[in-house]
Amino acid sequence: MKSLNLFKERELTMNKIKDTLKLSVEERIQLVQSIWDSVAAEAEA
């Protein structure tokens, strides 16, 4: 049963990646900037 959950989680992750790649270039750049800002803020803390 645990392997089925892992498969489902992997499938959901892949779907999220596919959805992200459907964003426009501008939206993906904004997403990356937000991620980078959160990494930088955490590194400064």
The number of folded domains in the chain is 1
Is 12 domain-assigned? no
Confidence (pLDDT) at 45: 80
Helix or strand or coil: residue 45? coil
Domain range spanning residue 31?
20-45
Q: Which residues contact 28 (CB under 8 A, 6 or more apart)?
A: 20, 21
- pTM summary value: 0.68
Is 40 domain-assigned? yes
In tens digits, what is the pLDDT along the chain, a chain of 45 residues?
A: 677 798 899 999 999 999 999 999 999 999 999 999 999 999 888
Is 35 domain-assigned? yes
Is 6 domain-assigned? no
CA-to-CA distance for 2 and 44, rounded, in angstroms?
A: 38
Is 24 domain-assigned? yes
Is 13 domain-assigned? no
CA-to-CA distance for 12 and 8, rounded, in angstroms?
A: 6
Q: Which residues contact 6 (CB under 8 A, 6 or more apart)?
A: none
